[in-house]
Amino acid sequence: MQPGQPKGNGKYAHGKTGLRRILHTVIHSRDGFVATFKGEAAFRQLLLLHGALATVALLLDVSRSERALMLMVCFVSLLVELLNSAIEAVVDRISLEHHPLSKNAKDMGSAAQSTALLMVATVWAVVLLG
């Protein structure tokens, strides 16, 4: 069996369990966050936007559940951008040549982020204007 290949039961033989597995998960998550921050201007822009929105949400006179919802949709948008960036990285890893399926994958990731931002705007508008 090659290193890094799954065993016959479909599980990878990395040997990490318990706290060691959690530590490695945190390290890989940090690496993904840093790579996205360094490589994706859109992610940096969204961090600024949602950082500002989070600050405003904490200062507004709204209920705890409204504040939680306003903060939650900001985190959802950041999560969608992380996934969108991952899709783009995989598509670019496969090939940099133009292909309709590559375009579709990138456009779908962009559409997901647009939908997330629409959700942010809708929730904020309902809370502030409702």
Do residues 43 and 81 touch, judged by C-beta distance below 8 A? Answer: yes
- pTM, 2 dp: 0.84
Measured in whole angstroms, how far is the alpha carbon of residue 69 from the centre of its chain?
A: 17
Output the pLDDT for position 86: 97
- The catalytic residues are 81
Report phi then psi at 6, rounded to 5.
-70, 150
Q: How large is the C-alpha radius of gyration of the chain? A: 19
Output the pLDDT for position 16: 76
Is the backbone of residue 111 left (phi > 0), alpha (psi -120 to 50) or beta? alpha
Looking at the chain, which runs of residues are DSSP E strands? Answer: none
Per-residue pLDDT of the chain (130 residues; tens, 9 = 90+): 555 565 666 565 666 778 888 999 999 999 999 999 999 999 999 999 999 999 999 999 999 999 999 999 999 999 999 999 999 999 999 999 999 999 999 999 999 999 999 999 999 999 999 8
